[in-house]
Amino acid sequence: MDRGSTGLNLDGAANNVKGKLGLWDGGSPLLTHVEFAGRILQNDNADISDHSTHVAGTMIAKGINPAAKGMANGIQQLIAYDMLNNSDIEEMMA
């Protein structure tokens, strides 16, 4: 198990962080991607974006491909928003 340079085991898997991590980007991640399928809630209607998919992978990829393991790879749910809908501030405050 890679515990990082701090020696802490922080992977985002704890129940109390479910739904607490958000992604605001110009589109939707590919929700069926093998690295995070079933763990992203897209909160608005947005087209799939390669950039959003890449950012989601950096954040939460499980590590099926070890080179692609995300920082919070055990998180149960990431909430994604399309930043182009002009309600970013309200969404973040909620």
Q: Where are the domains of the chain?
A: 15-93
- The pLDDT value given to residue 10: 81
Could you tell me the pLDDT band of residue 55, with boundaries at 50, 70 and 90?
A: very high
Contacts with 21 (C-beta within 8 Å, 6 or more apart), sequence order: 12, 59, 60, 72, 75, 77, 78, 79
User: pLDDT tens for residues 2-34?
Assistant: 555 677 778 999 999 998 999 999 899 999 999
Whether the per-residue pLDDT at 62 is higher than 90: the answer is: yes
